[in-house]
């Protein structure tokens, strides 16, 4: 996943920004299982894999928009990620709510075979709720942190290598 994202964004840092959205989803999913007293079974693991795809999409939507704004419009990183958070909020919220509403019947199911599907719904609802709240705040913070880190690393590398200075 990291390699594909690295190739897509031509960066070694921004895939980590996108992947930083995943721990909040896992915490929400596991917390939902713990609160309901359910074990982590195969169906719950399938739900976590599905959840990873949905949450990663949210990070991709924000980072992709911010990188595009930096490259094409020349915006500063802070303004680019701010614009991304503002303009991508509604699509992120809509897809998350659609998945959440689709998972509620699985979570609330009764009857024969419902106990098999309930962990899938629990994991989806818990993971989506926690990740939706946290991702909107953590992704911009991680984006700006890694942007500053890459600038410091590039400045340190340029200062250490005198041959990289332009010839006059």
Q: Which sequence spans correspond to the domains of the chain?
A: 12-110+127-148
Of 4-8, 27-31, 92-96, 126-130, the one with minimum mean pLDDT is: 4-8
Reported confidence tier of residue 150, pLDDT bands at 50, 70, 90:
confident
Query: In 20-132, which ranges are E strands?
Result: none
Of the chain, the percentage scoring pLDDT greater than 70 comes to 95
Q: Give the span between the Cα atoms of 57 and 106, in whole angstroms.
A: 22
Per DSSP, 10 falls in state T
CB 142 within 8 A of CB 127: no
pLDDT at 38 over 70: yes
Which residues, other chains included, contact 106 with Cβ-Cβ below 8 Å and sequence gap of 6+? 117, 118, 120, 121, 124
> How confident is the model at residue 65, as a pLDDT?
92
Mean pLDDT of 86-98: 92
> How confident is the model at residue 114, as a pLDDT?
83
> How confident is the model at residue 166, as a pLDDT?
54
Please give, one letter per residue, the 3-state secondary structure of 118-132.
HHHHHHHHHHHHHHH
pLDDT at 145 over 90: yes
The architecture in CATH of the region 12-110+127-148 reads Up-down Bundle (1.20)
pLDDT at 157 over 80: no
pLDDT at 54 over 60: yes
What angle, rounded to 10 degrees, do the helices at 89-108 and 114-160 form? 150
Which residues, other chains included, contact 157 with Cβ-Cβ below 8 Å and sequence gap of 6+? 164
> How confident is the model at residue 12, as a pLDDT?
82
The Cα-based distances of 16 to 32, 35, 117 in angstroms read 26, 30, 32
Reported confidence tier of residue 163, pLDDT bands at 50, 70, 90:
low
């Amino acid at each position: 996943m990291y390699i594909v994202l690295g190739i897509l964004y031509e960066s070694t840092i921004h895939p980590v920004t996108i992947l930083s959205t995943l721990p909040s989803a896992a915490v929400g999913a596991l917390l939902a299982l713990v609160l309901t007293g359910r074990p982590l079974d195969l169906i719950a693991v399938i739900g976590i894999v599905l959840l990873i795809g949905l949450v990663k999409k949210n990070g991709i939507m924000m980072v992709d928009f911010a990188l595009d704004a930096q490259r094409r419009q020349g915006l500063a990183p802070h303004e680019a990620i701010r614009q991304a958070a503002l303009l991508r909020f509604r699509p992120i919220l809509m897809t998350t709510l659609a998945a959440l509403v689709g998972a509620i019947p699985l979570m609330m199911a009764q009857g024969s075979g419902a106990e098999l599907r309930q962990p899938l719904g629990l994991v989806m609802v818990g993971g989506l709720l926690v990740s939706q709240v946290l991702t909107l705040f953590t992704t911009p913070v991680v984006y700006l942190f890694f942007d500053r880190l890459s600038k410091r690393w590039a400045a340190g590398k340029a200062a250490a290598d005198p041959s990289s200075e332009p010839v006059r």
